[in-house]
C-alpha cells in the first residue's frame, strides 16, 4: 500500500542556525529531486525549501527505507550530521501528511500566519517536481487540492486579512497613521529576525526605501543588501531619522539608542511630519517618553502584542473556520485515496473482459465473413456492451466498498471469482 509521507522542519521545530544551513540555494531543489528520483523506495517526490521551512513530501511503499533515504539527502544537502538534523524534524504520514500540506499551503503554519508568499513558493516547488518528473498521480492530485484549499481558506475566512502577527500588526498601525505606505521611508536599526520580517512586510506594502544602521557597518551592508537598502553608520542615526517615517529598532544595546531629547530636537526640522517607532528590542531601544511627543508614535513589543490580542478573538474564530475547511478537504482526499486501492482490480477486470471479447470475435471470424464491415462492427459493439453491462454492477459494488474495512475481502473475492491473478495480469 502506498503511503504519503511528509518530513520537514519549520520555524517552530528548528532554530534559525539550522534552517540557515538548508536555506534555498540556486540548484539545491533540482539536486534533491534528482536524488529522490533515483531512490528505489520513493515513488513520487516534492521538495519545498523557504527561509522558514524545509519540507520533503513523497509517496512510498517502503516507508522505513524512504524515510532513511530522505534523512540522508537532507543531511548531505545541509552538511549537518543526521542525529542533529533528525532532532528538529517532524514526520507526518498519510492523512496527517495531507492535513499538514493543506495547513502549510493555507499559510496557517507560517511564522506570519496568513502571509501570502508560501502558496507561491509551494506552487513553484510543485512546478519543479513536475519538470523533474518526480510528481505522479497522487502528488498531482494532492498539490492541486492543496492550492484549492488555500484558495478556499483565503476567500472564506478572514485569517489572511486580520492582524495576526507582530509584524503584520506593525504594518496595520503604520497604515492607520500614514494611510498609504507608498513613498514612506524606513530606518532599520540593529538586526534580528522579527525586525527584518517587519521591514519586509513594510516593503511588501509599498514602502519606498529602507536604510539599515548597525553597530558594525559590515553587518549593515550585509542586511541592506537583502533589502536593496542603504547601509548607514550608527552615528548617522539622527540624520537618518530626519528623513525617515518609520523607525524599527532591534539592537542588543542595554541603554536607549534613541532618547527623548534626540527626537524632540528633530521634530521641528521634520516639519512635524508623523514619526512611527517600532521598538522590537528587549531591553528597549527607544526612550518610552518619546511617545508623548506630538505626532510621534512609539510601540514596543508588548504594545504590539496588545494589538494582536485585540484580534485574537476574531482570529480564533477564523482559525476554527479554516480548520473546518481543511478537515473537509482532508476527508475528501482520503476518500479519493481509498478508491485508488480499487482501481487495479477494476482495471484487470476490464482487461480480462476485453480479452475475452476479442478472442471470441476472432473465433467466429469465419462465420462472420459474409457480413459487411458495418454489420461486423455492430456485432463488436454489441458484444462489448453486453460485457460492460454485466461488469457494471460488480464495479459499482467495489467502488462503494472502497472506504470500508471489508474492502480487502471483496477485492480478494473478486479476483478469485474472475480468476484475475491466474491470467498473469500483473496488476
CB 412 within 8 A of CB 421: no
The SS3 of residue 358 is helix
Catalytic residue among 4, 35, 51, 346: 51
Number of chain residues interacting with another protein (CB under 8 A): 20
CB-wise, 239 or 272, nearer to another protein? 272
CB 115 within 8 A of CB 314: no
Q: State the virtual CA torsion across 275, 169, 107, 31 in degrees, nearest 10.
A: 40
Range 61-80 burial, b when 16+ CB lie within 10 A, else e: eebeebbebbbebbbebbeb
What is the nearest approach in angstroms of another protein to the Cβ of residue 221? 33
CB 41 within 8 A of CB 66: yes
Give the range of 305-313, 353-361, 384-392, 406-414 binding another protein by CB under 8 A.
Answer: 305-313
Using the rule CB under 8 A, is 92 a contact of another protein? Answer: no
Binding mask 210-249 for another protein (x = CB under 8 A): ----------------------------------------
Binding mask 174-213 for another protein (x = CB under 8 A): -xxxxxx---------------------------------
CB-wise, 51 or 186, nearer to another protein? 186
- Count the alpha carbons within 13 Å of 225 in the hemisphere toward its beta carbon: 6
Using the rule CB under 8 A, is 86 a contact of another protein? Answer: no
160 catalytic, yes or no?
no
- How far, in Å, CA of 139 to CA of 21, rounded? 27
Helices (H) and strands (E) in the chain, counts: 15, 10
Place of cell 484580534: 311
Using the rule CB under 8 A, is 312 a contact of another protein? Answer: no
Binding mask 255-294 for another protein (x = CB under 8 A): ----------------xxxx----------------x--x
Where are any strands of DSSP class E within 61-208?
Answer: 90-93, 185-190
Residue (of 89, 66, 87, 50) closest to 3 by Cα position: 66
- How far, in Å, CA of 72 to CA of 399, rounded? 39
CA 284 to chain centre: 34
Using the rule CB under 8 A, is 299 a contact of another protein? Answer: yes
Give the range of 28-36, 108-116, 125-133, 301-309 binding another protein by CB under 8 A.
Answer: 301-309
CB-wise, 55 or 318, nearer to another protein? 318
Using the rule CB under 8 A, is 317 a contact of another protein? Answer: no
Q: Residues with catalytic annotation? A: 51
Footprint of another protein (CB under 8 A): 173, 175-180, 271-274, 291, 294-295, 297, 299, 303, 306-307, 310
Amino acid at each position: 500500500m502506498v503511503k504519503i509521507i511528509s518530513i520537514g522542519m519549520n520555524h517552530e521545530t528548528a532554530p534559525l542556525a539550522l534552517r540557515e544551513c538548508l536555506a534555498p540555494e540556486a540548484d539545491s531543489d533540482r539536486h534533491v529531486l534528482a536524488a529522490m528520483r533515483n531512490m528505489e523506495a520513493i515513488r513520487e517526490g516534492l521538495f519545498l525549501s523557504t527561509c522558514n521551512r524545509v519540507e520533503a513530501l513523497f509517496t512510498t511503499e517502503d516507508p522505513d527505507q524512504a524515510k532513511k533515504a530522505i534523512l540522508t539527502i537532507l543531511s548531505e544537502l545541509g552538511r549537518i550530521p543526521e542525529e542533529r538534523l533528525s532532532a528538529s524534524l517532524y514526520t507526518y504520514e498519510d492523512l496527517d501528511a495531507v492535513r499538514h500540506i493543506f495547513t502549510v499551503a493555507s499559510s496557517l503554519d507560517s511564522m506570519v500566519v496568513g502571509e501570502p508568499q508560501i502558496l507561491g513558493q509551494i506552487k513553484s516547488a510543485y512546478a519543479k517536481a513536475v519538470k523533474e518528473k518526480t510528481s505522479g498521480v497522487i502528488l498531482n492530485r494532492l498539490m492541486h487540492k492543496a492550492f484549492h484549499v488555500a484558495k478556499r481558506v483565503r476567500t472564506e475566512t478572514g485569517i489572511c486579512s486580520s492582524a495576526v502577527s507582530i509584524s503584520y500588526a506593525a504594518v496595520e498601525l503604520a497604515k492607520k497613521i500614514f494611510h498609504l505606505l507608498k513613498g514612506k521611508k524606513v530606518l532599520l536599526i540593529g538586526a534580528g529576525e522579527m525586525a527584518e520580517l517587519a521591514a519586509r512586510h513594510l516593503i511588501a506594502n509599498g514602502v519606498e526605501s529602507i536604510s539599515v544602521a548597525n553597530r558594525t557597518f559590515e553587518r549593515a551592508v550585509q542586511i541592506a543588501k537583502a533589502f536593496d537598502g542603504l547601509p548607514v553608520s550608527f552615528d548617522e542615526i539622527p540624520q537618518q531619522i530626519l528623513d525617515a517615517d518609520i523607525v524599527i529598532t532591534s539592537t542588543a544595546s542595554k541603554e536607549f539608542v534613541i532618547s527623548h531629547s534626540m527626537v524632540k530636537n528633530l521634530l521641528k526640522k521634520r516639519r512635524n511630519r508623523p514619526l512611527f517607532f517600532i521598538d522590537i528590542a528587549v531591553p528597549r531601544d527607544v526612550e518610552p517618553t518619546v511617545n508623548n511627543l506630538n505626532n510621534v508614535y512609539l510601540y514596543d513589543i508588548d504594545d504590539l502584542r496588545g494589538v494582536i490580542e485585540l484580534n485574537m478573538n476574531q482570529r480564533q474564530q477564523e482559525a476554527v473556520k479554516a480548520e473546518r475547511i481543511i478537515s473537509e478537504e482532508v476527508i475528501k482526499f482520503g476518500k479519493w485515496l481509498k478508491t485508488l486501492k480499487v482501481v487495479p482490480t477494476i482495471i484487470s477486470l476490464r482487461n480480462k473482459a476485453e480479452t475475452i471479447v476479442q478472442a471470441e470475435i476472432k473465433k467466429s471470424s469465419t462465420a462472420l465473413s459474409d457480413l459487411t464491415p458495418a454489420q461486423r462492427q455492430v456485432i463488436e459493439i454489441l458484444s462489448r456492451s453486453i460485457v460492460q453491462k454485466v461488469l457494471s454492477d460488480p464495479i459499482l459494488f467495489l467502488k462503494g466498498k472502497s472506504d470500508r474495512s471489508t474492502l480487502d475481502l471483496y477485492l480478494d473475492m473478486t479476483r478469485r471469482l474472475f480468476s484475475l491473478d491466474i491470467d498473469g495480469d500483473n496488476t
